[in-house]
Amino acid sequence: MTRNLLIQRKGFTVPELLAVVAVMLILLAMLLPILDGARRRARAVICLSNMHQLAVAHKSYAMENKQSTCHREAFLKDPPGWVGTGSWPNVSGIPQESILVRLRYLDGIDAFTCPDDHGYREDHEELVPFWYRYVRPASFSYTRNAEADARNPYPSFYRIRKPSQTCLTAEESEVAPMNGSEFYANPWDIMTLRHDNQCAMNFFDLHGAFINSKEFNLNDFGWRIINYLDP
């Protein structure tokens, strides 16, 4: 009799199965945000790595060209810009044609795009002056600091007084205007918020870091220049 009872109790009852499933669901609900956060951090690391590759490519080009970086404009064809050559006024930017790719300072075009940049762009003509209305395309996520030498399309590494504080390239907002693959300290050139309100930024000494995008976007132009663009 006792043996038969033991045989009958080998399986789980329905309430016991439901309890196990409930515990598993609770654990899964607790783990998913942690896993999602880990994935976001991994994509952010890739983004920062991309920008480091771009900074090294700029520096390598400059070392062979009297410390002057390659041209910043995307729509100039001779030589092509650092993000490739498009046509004005429909500036597109073609990373495959980037002078950094053509001259093999970059191995392919992967470094031009943040893994969290999903490629959506919208022409916000109502938000910006008509001469700025060509929004940066989905083919690249980063733009270059034009304030480092606003009057010279070929900024020199020699000119930068504080290379560890002066931005070289930055992760601009998806709805920021194209400006020929560059950004200035103006109301429309703002940084992306896609990394938990932070953006990746590389500096002239080639180090990269995440900065507070909201702080950058909300501060006035003088603050941006003093702290990041031309200290």
Which residue, among 196, 230, 226, 225, has the nearest Cα to 213 in the 3D structure? 196
Q: What DSSP line would sit under 195-222, residue for residue?
A: TTSEEEEEETTS-EEEEEHHHHHHS-HH
Q: Residue type at 173?
A: S
- Whole-prediction pTM: 0.78
Edge-to-edge strand list for the sheet holding 167-171: 182-183, 142-145, 167-171, 198-203, 208-212
HSE-up of 132 (CA within 13 Å, CB side)?
15
Please give the sequence-ordered ranges of beta strands (E in DSSP) within the chain, or none if there are none.
142-145, 167-171, 182-183, 198-203, 208-212
Q: Is the pLDDT of residue 90 over 60?
A: no
| Helix, strand, coil percent values for the chain (each to nearest 5) | 40, 15, 50
Q: How confident is the model at residue 112 (pLDDT cuts 50, 70, 90)?
A: very high
| CA-based radius of gyration for the chain | 25
Distance of CA 26 to the CA centre of its chain: 35
> pLDDT tens, 42-87?
899 999 999 999 999 999 999 998 888 888 776 677 778 888 876 6
Structure-block tokens of residue 64: 């062979």
The whole-number pLDDT of residue 40 equals 79
The whole-number pLDDT of residue 153 equals 61
> pLDDT tens, 138-190?
778 898 998 886 656 667 787 888 999 999 999 988 877 766 688 888 888 88
Mean pLDDT score of the chain? 80
The whole-number pLDDT of residue 68 equals 85
